[in-house]
Amino acid sequence: MPTSGAEFRIGISGSYGGLNLGDEAILQSIIKQLRADLSVEITVFSRDPAETLRRQSVDRAIPVRKMSRDEILPEIQRLDLFILGGGGILFDAEAKIYLREVVLAQENDIPVMVYAVGAGPLHDPVAQALVRNCMEKAAAVTVRDRGARQVLEEIGVAREVVVTADPALLLEAEPISRSMLQREGLDKGTRLVGMSVREPGVAAPDISEDLYHALLANAADYMVDRFDADVVFVSMERQVLDMQHSHAVVSKMLRAPRATVLKGEYSPGQMLSLVGNFEFMVGMRLHFLLFAALRGVPFVALPYASKVHGFLEEFKIESPPMHLVNAGRLIAHIDQSWDRRRSLQARINRALPVMRERAARNHAILMDVIAARRSRTIAAALKA
């Protein structure tokens, strides 16, 4: 048992420590629920332990990507439970990376909960076999959308996979000060539209970067003119290329003086508060759209991945596929969505409570896993 005085030692692994506000929102929500119900020592397997310790309420953080299998093994063996998730981490390119610790935990009889993950694409037979084996041996598996469950079923996962929802749906807003808005130039009383872009890559594989930037710049100019709005670009992942691409889009705008790129560094809860100042939002990143939904802000999505499609399906919101979008079609869709923004807002508000209830089910299932672990520990002690 833990020597720190906590009843349980729990490890959490996922795409953490990379300054992605969506992933950090997931982690924050998991941690908050654990601390509310358990006496627990939490270790995060992080890409940047110092950043995780600074941002999150955890006891320990370790540089998982810099440690060998032999170095990480003692960290696994000291745990009572290992959590993998959430987020979209089970895909061909990186499944092996994220599942290394799962394999070690299962080899050492440490229960594993796969927690609200996304899955796919999974076309590589080696990755499929690894994912299938790990899922079958897990104490519980939850996924954040139906598409992820379908992917796991298609690769042969036969055990129960529960569809829940993204843990970030349980995030609560944190206060932002007037001075924060002043520093960003958002205190002028003008109408604000939020916009989120990201590197093209899988987001827009069939168009060049210049065309991609011009497409979004055109849309931003249209919103300035049509809505008489200032456009605020939100970087959800500062350490990648969100900020650079935001500035590149602004540089192609005719109405660039009516656009700004957020400069400050915000916690997920602070960003959630900030987006509450927007009247409308247009974006690519999943958690930008999720934050919009949490604040009841009508939004238009530019779906670049199945996880975004899955999110839109929950609200019954249509969106043109990214690979078929041109400037005219995108503007027409934005225009139509703006005119229907009140009905969009009502649709979001109807669906959100159900999704939040499903998001909370992840923790309820985790508590069942912990109860089973506790029973096993007591039974073993009685036999000794």
Task: Quote the CA–CA distance of 161 and 164 in Å, as a whole number.
Answer: 9
CATH class of the domain defined by 178-351: alpha beta
In 10 A of CB 161, how many CB atoms? 21
User: Whole-model pTM?
Assistant: 0.94
The residues, any chain, with a CB within 8 Å of residue 122's CB and separated by 6 or more, are 90, 91, 92, 95, 128, 131, 151, 154, 155
Instruction: Decide: 287 and 171 in contact? Cβ < 8 Å.
Output: no
Task: Quote the CA–CA distance of 150 and 205 in Å, as a whole number.
Answer: 24
The answer to whether domain 8-163 and domain 178-351 are alike in fold is yes
Q: Where are the domains of the chain?
A: 8-163, 178-351
Instruction: Decide: 27 and 54 in contact? Cβ < 8 Å.
Output: no
Residue 70: its H or E element: helix 69-77
Q: What is the pLDDT of residue 3?
A: 44
What sign does the dihedral 308-294-20-359 (CA atoms) show?
Answer: negative
Q: What is the pLDDT of residue 1?
A: 39
Instruction: Decide: 262 and 233 in contact? Cβ < 8 Å.
Output: yes
List the one residue out of 57, 2, 1 whose CA is nearest residue 24. 57
Cis ω for the linkage preceding 121 (within 30 of 0): yes
8-163: CATH topology is Rossmann fold (3.40.50)
Q: What is the pLDDT of residue 299?
A: 95
Tokens found for residue 8? 């349980």
Tokens found for residue 305? 């991945």
139 exposure class (CB count in 10 Å sphere: 0-12, 13-18, 19+): buried
Task: Quote the CA–CA distance of 222 and 214 in Å, as a whole number.
Answer: 12
Query: Splitting the chain (384 residues) into consecutive groups of 10 residues, what average pLDDT does each group show?
Result: 71 93 97 97 97 96 97 98 94 96 98 96 97 98 95 98 98 94 92 90 63 90 97 86 92 97 94 96 93 96 76 84 78 95 94 97 97 83 75
For residue 327, the Cα-to-chain-centroid distance in whole angstroms is: 28
Q: What is the pLDDT of residue 2?
A: 44
Q: What is the pLDDT of residue 372?
A: 92
